[in-house]
Amino acid sequence: MAIFGKSGGPAPPGREDPESRSSFIGPKIRFQGELLGDEDVLVEGRLEGRVKISKAFRVGHHGVVLAEVAAGTVVIAGRVVGNVSADERVELLPTGILEGNIQAPRIVIGEGARFTGRIDMSGGTAPPSPSS
């Protein structure tokens, strides 16, 4: 039996496939600034500033994001205040709250979710301006 997962078993922590990693901002973390990256991100804490993620950006049930968000996909179960744009899809889950404009080719708003803003499904990732 191999120690480091060479026999087909699970790899030990820290030895997972680097392509399957995601970053986590925990419930007791407060982040201010610009978040840039090329991996999935889950926010359960508070994030303020600007977000540009090429993959999935998820806001968990306890997450609060006060930022302009641009990502490959965006899933909101918590609260976001700011414009959101996605290359693929924005999904507002039933527990989600979004106060801002959405720009994405596909948008899903779950029953019970709260949304205030405008929707643009014409393509591109630049969020619509509030004056449009």
Mean pLDDT of 4-11: 46
Strands 40-43, 102-103: pairing kind? unpaired
Chain centroid offset of residue 89 CA: 11
Over residues 53-100, the pLDDT tens digits come to 999 999 999 999 999 999 999 999 999 999 999 999 999 999 999 999
Confidence of residue 22 (pLDDT cuts 50, 70, 90): confident
pTM here is 0.79
Token duo for residue 33: 């600034």
